[in-house]
Amino acid sequence: MSADAPSRVPPDERRTLLVGFALVLALFVVVLALAVLRARSADAQARRVVAGAADGIVAVTRVAVDLDEKALLIYEHILERRSDVMAHLEQRLSEVERDLGRAVARYTPPDTPEARASWEALVADLGEVEAASGPVLALSRRNEDVAARRTMDGLVDDVHRLEAQLVATSEREATRALDRIRASQRATLAALLALAAAGTAAALLVAAQVTRTIRARAELLRRATRSLEETNRELDAFAGRVAHDLRGPLSTVALAASLLQRRALAPEEAQATERLKRAVHRMEALIRDLLAFSRAGAKAEDAEGDPEAAAEQLAEDIGPRVEEQGGRLDVAVAHARVRCSVGLLREVLYNLADNALKYRRPDVAPAIAIKGEAQRADYELVVSDNGMGMAEDDARRAFDAFFRARGAAERPGTGLGLAIVKRVVEGCGGRVDARSREGSGTTFVIRLPLARGA
C-alpha cells in the first residue's frame, strides 16, 4: 500500500492560473492607461477651451475699449474749435484705429453659426464706423456739430449692442464647451468604472478558481498524508509482528545451540556451535532493535516528561559500565517539562551513551557528557563523547536505518540505534543533529518542544 502526496501543481493548472492572473493584470493596466489618457485629454481640452474663451473675451473687450476711445476722441473733435488741437486728436484717432485693427485680427470667433453671425455683423458695423469717421470729422472741421453728432450716435449704439452680444455668445460657447467636457469626463468615468468592475469580477473569478484548486490539492494532500500514516502504521505493526514471531523460533535455535555445545566432543564442533550462538545473539539483538524501531514510530506529541528524570535513570543504568571501563559520565541536565515521555527520553539517551561506549577509542578512557537546558522556545539536550568519531559523509548518514560507519563493522550493533533516536525525537515534534570528526568524538544536539504552559 502506497500513497503519493502531490508535490507540484500540474502544468495545465499552473498554465490556467498564470493566464488568468496575466489577463487580470493586463485588464487593470489597460484601465489605468485609459484613465490616464482620458484625464490628460480632458485636461488639455479644458485648457484649450478656457484659453480660447479668455482670449476671445479679451480681444472683444479690447475692440470695445478701442471703439469707446475712438468715439470719445471723435466727440471731443466735434466739440473742439481750434484746428491745431483737432489735428492732434486726429493723430490719436489714427493710433486707436491701428490698435483696433490688431484686436480685430487677433480675435477668432467660436465655431458656431451664432458666434460667426455676431462677429460678421460687428465687423460690418466697424466698417461702417470706419467709413463714417471721415465725413463726421469733415463736418466737425466745418463746425457742423449737430449733424456730426447725429451721424455718430447711431453707429456707436449699434457697435455697443453687437459688442455685448458677442461677449455673451463667447461666454455661452465656453460654458457649452465645458459642459461637453464634463459630460465626456462622466462618460469616461462610467467606462472606467465598468472596466474596473469587469477587472474585479475577473480577479474574483481567478481567486475563486485558485481557492478551489488550493482546497482540492489540500484535500488530496490530507488524504495522501492519512494514507501514508496508515501505511507507516501498518508497516510498523507488521515489523513488530514479524520480529515478535521470530523470537520464538530463534529461542529454539539458541536452546539447540547450547545443547550442541554441551555435547560437542571435538574442538571443531565446539567452535561451530560457538559461532552459531554468536549468530543467534546477533539475530536476537536485531529483532530487539526492530521492535524498538517499530514502537518508536508512534506519535508521542501528547506525552510529557522531565529530561532531568530521564538523565538520572540513564546514570543509574549505564554509569556502572562507564566506571568499569575507567571512564567518566558527566550529567548536567536541568529540570523542565518537554513534549516527550521520560521512558522515550531515557531510550534516546541510552542509545547515544551506549554508542559512545561501543565506539570508544581503544587507547582512551571513555568520557561522556550530557547537558540540557531550556531555550527560548524549546529544550536543548547535548550528548558528547570522545570516541572514534565519524567522517563527514558518514555523519550525514548516521541516522539512516542499518547504516554503519566505516571502521564500525567489527563493533557490536545492528545499525538501528541512531535511527531509533531520530524516530523518537521527531515523533515528539523535535529534531536531532550530529556533529563529528573522525578520531575526535561525536556530539549530538537534540531539540525538543517545551510542554504547553511550561
What the chain holds in terms of domains, given with CATH numbers, is 11-209 (1.20.120.1730), 300-449 (3.30.565.10)
Cβ-based neighbour number of residue 179 at 10 Å: 10
Q: In the chain, what percentage of residues exceed pLDDT 70?
A: 72
145-192 pLDDT, tens digit per residue, is 777 777 777 666 766 776 676 677 767 777 777 777 777 778 777 777
Comparing C-alpha atoms, which of 10, 7, 5, 425 is closest to residue 226?
A: 5
Structural contact between residues 303 and 340, judged by C-beta atoms closer than 8 angstroms = yes
How far apart (Å, rounded) are the C-alpha atoms in residues 49 and 289?
94
Q: Which of 14-18, 66-70, 328-332 has the lowest mean pLDDT?
A: 14-18
User: What mean pLDDT comes out for the span 334-351?
Assistant: 88
For position 7, what pLDDT does the model report? 45
Comparing C-alpha atoms, which of 215, 214, 201 is closest to residue 17?
A: 214
**Predicted confidence (pLDDT) at residue 6 exceeds the cutoff of 60:** no
Which whole-number Å values give the CA distances from 145 to 141, 158, 258, in the listed order? 9, 21, 162
Q: Provide the whole-model pTM.
A: 0.46
Q: Averaging pLDDT over each range in 146-160, 231-245, 327-341, which range is the top one?
A: 327-341
pLDDT band at 291 (very low <50, low <70, confident <90, very high): low
Higher pLDDT, 10 or 227: 227
For position 1, what pLDDT does the model report? 42
Q: Record the cell numbers describing residue 206, joined without a space.
A: 481567478
Q: Let me know how long the chain is.
A: 454
For position 269, what pLDDT does the model report? 67
For position 442, what pLDDT does the model report? 92
Looking at residue 431, the DSSP 8-state letter turns out to be E
107-152 pLDDT, tens digit per residue, is 777 677 777 777 777 777 777 777 777 887 888 788 887 777 777 7
